[in-house]
Chains A and B, each alone.
Chain A
Amino acid sequence: LAKTTQPISMDSYEGQEVNITCSHNNIATNDYITWYQQFPSQGPRFIIQGYKTKVTNEVASLFIPADRKSSTLSLPRVSLSDTAVYYCLVGYNAGNMLTFGGGTRLMVKP
């Protein structure tokens, strides 16, 4: 199972773009990359998922280079409500154990 490495924490200010990178050097061919957001005492919430290149939805973009050994979650114009822990999950969801890394604590300041 692909192990992921993320920065422990990041600080930003309202209105800025935030990029969080996740390393997953031993990603397998069938593995997808998924990002989740978690607020205190709540379950993680799906943000975005991708396999290669770039994926964009209404809340974020996900950039995946050709070798797929890393990925970057991009949050445009963050607000205070984006303060949360962000997890990168790599795995092919067909019965594999899905193991989360430690996540990145994002603090958005006014």
Chain B
Amino acid sequence: DGGITQSPKYLFRKEGQNVTLSCEQNLNHDAMYWYRQDPGQGLRLIYYSQIVNDFQKGDIAEGYSVSREKKESFPLTVTSAQKNPTAFYLCASSSTPALSGNTIYFGEGSWLTVV
């Protein structure tokens, strides 16, 4: 949603290949997140980062890697170790810390398909 750009929108991966999904935000948010969504299912957290050069595993981090070298950027690499990567990937960001609840803002998502 406005201020978070994901690219590409559609990506095809061959077996055994690593691919990287880009996520850039201009909202000056400290925290960034990556979620995976399988068709008809809810969102599952892959990785999250509270601050530059720091990130934590979410519920389904195996087969994925991230980096947070800049505040604006949080790329996700889907490695060959991820055996079933076909899914919709969503990047999000939010501001921290909070005296009141902060909302998460989402990008428009990226579809990854294994061919």
Binding site for B on A (CB under 8 A): 31-32, 34, 36, 41-46, 49, 51, 87, 89, 92-95, 97-103
**Shortest distance between the CB of A91 and any CB in chain B (Å):** 8
**Shortest distance between the CB of B1 and any CB in chain A (Å):** 6
Q: Which residues does chain B contribute within 8 Å of A100, judged by CB atoms?
A: 35, 42-45
* B78 in contact (CB, < 8 A): no
Interface hit among B14-22, B64-72, B86-94: B86-94
- The dominant DSSP class at the A interface is loop
Binding site for A on B (CB under 8 A): 1, 4, 31, 33, 35, 41-45, 48, 50, 56, 58-59, 88, 90, 92, 94, 96-98, 100-109, 111
**Shortest distance between the CB of B77 and any CB in chain A (Å):** 20
Is there an interface contact between A103 and B42, defined as CB atoms closer than 8 Å?
Answer: yes
Is there an interface contact between A43 and B109, defined as CB atoms closer than 8 Å?
Answer: yes
Q: Which residues does chain A contribute within 8 Å of B45, judged by CB atoms?
A: 97-100
Partner of A95, one of B50, B108, B111: B50
Q: Which residues does chain A contribute within 8 Å of B100, judged by CB atoms?
A: 32, 51
C-alpha spacing A87/B4, complex, angstroms: 20
Q: Which residues does chain A contribute within 8 Å of B33, judged by CB atoms?
A: 98
Partner of B101, one of A32, A41, A44, A45: A32
Is there an interface contact between A43 and B101, defined as CB atoms closer than 8 Å?
Answer: no
Partner of A93, one of B35, B96, B111: B96
Is there an interface contact between A43 and B42, defined as CB atoms closer than 8 Å?
Answer: no
Q: Which residues does chain A contribute within 8 Å of B103, judged by CB atoms?
A: 34, 46, 49, 93
Q: Which residues does chain A contribute within 8 Å of B58, judged by CB atoms?
A: 97, 99
Known: A41-B109, A46-B104. 8 other contacts (CB 8 A): A42-B108, A44-B104, A45-B1, A46-B1, A49-B101, A51-B101, A89-B104, A93-B102
Q: Which residues does chain B contribute within 8 Å of A98, judged by CB atoms?
A: 33, 45, 48, 94, 104
